[in-house]
Amino acid sequence: MKYAVLLWEYIKNYAKTRLTYRADFWIEVLSDLMFQGMNLFFILIVFQHTPSLGGWTEAEVVFVYGFFMIPYGLFTTFFNMWNFSERYIVKGEMDRILTRPAHNLFQVLLENVDPPSLIGSAVGAIIMAICWNDLGLAFHAYDLLMLLLFVIGAVLVYGGIYTALSALSFFSDAPTGIVPLIYNIQNYGRYPVNIYNKTIRFILTWVLPFAFVGVIPASYFLEKKSDDISQLALLTPVVGIVFFILGLSLWNYGVKRYRGAGS
């Protein structure tokens, strides 16, 4: 309850600061959408030259991308930690956070909350709905429940991985460059994983489970494929919880070890 009140206060604060620079807000939304648009455009062009990608049709791949956009938008809204190392460790803002009673990760996340990214989620949901209709998939009421469960699981997968990565800055003073590395790997998760070789497929499923953010949960709603990864879909919330607990534990351990940047 206390955290819900805090959340609301942080969001109100955010709105006040952002309303001062309204033009920036819309430019940010626009450039986010352009970036997503570029990825979609890529998919559309690809299917001008091939009827299927590893056995997946155009509408199915776009459907997967639409699904991916929902957790991705939520993730960038609530886990906007790109500059954690620089702002909180190097500049010492972490010390300020630690003097307050609320959980430190919660504070860090809310100080950087970025609601414009939610528009990406909304666009993703629309894309998904259109493809749902195009593909003539049956719609059951419990599909919505499953969708919610998958989205939460997928956000937790992302959140866990990036919490762990941010926690690494507690152990190393210099920026490690590992965050952009992982950021680029996550691009692999948007396409059907069966087009990759065995090693990459294994990494994407179990080590850095980006496949659980896109193609695996989305395949639950689609027609079954020969390799049937949709069997794994129900594991999405489990993988999400496991990875988030791992990330949070590493974070808590890092905070305990944290000694401040000095002066």
Binding positions for other proteins, rule: CB under 8 A: 21, 23-24, 27-28, 30-31, 34-35, 38, 41-42, 45-46, 48-50, 52-54, 176-178, 180-181, 184-185, 187-188, 191-192, 195-197, 200
Alpha helices in 79-214 (DSSP H): 84, 93-98, 104-111, 118-134, 141-167, 178-185, 198-202
Report DSSP state, residue 112. Answer: T
Residue 31 Cβ vs other proteins, minimum distance, rounded to whole Å: 4
**If you search the block for the tokens 């957790």, which residue do you land on?**
71
How many angstroms separate the CA atoms of 260 and 89, rounded? 7
- Phi, psi for residue 205 in degrees, rounded to 5: -90, -40
**If you search the block for the tokens 């070890």, which residue do you land on?**
257
**54 vs 115, beta carbon nearer other proteins:** 54
Residue 46 Cβ vs other proteins, minimum distance, rounded to whole Å: 5
Half-sphere exposure of 257 (CA within 13 A, CB side): 13
**9 vs 24, beta carbon nearer other proteins:** 24
How many angstroms separate the CA atoms of 249 and 163, rounded? 9
How many angstroms separate the CA atoms of 114 and 14, rounded? 8
CA–CA–CA angle 166, 183, 123 (5° rounding): 110
**143 vs 227, beta carbon nearer other proteins:** 227
SS3 47: coil
**2 vs 49, beta carbon nearer other proteins:** 49
Residue 90 Cβ vs other proteins, minimum distance, rounded to whole Å: 15
Report DSSP state, residue 248. Answer: H
Residue 202 Cβ vs other proteins, minimum distance, rounded to whole Å: 14
Token pair in block for residue 107: 């504070």
Cβ(197)–Cβ(170) under 8 Å? Answer: no
**136 vs 177, beta carbon nearer other proteins:** 177
**99 vs 184, beta carbon nearer other proteins:** 184
Residue 201 Cβ vs other proteins, minimum distance, rounded to whole Å: 10
- Phi, psi for residue 81 in degrees, rounded to 5: -115, 25
Residue 204 Cβ vs other proteins, minimum distance, rounded to whole Å: 11
**103 vs 201, beta carbon nearer other proteins:** 201
Residue 172 Cβ vs other proteins, minimum distance, rounded to whole Å: 13
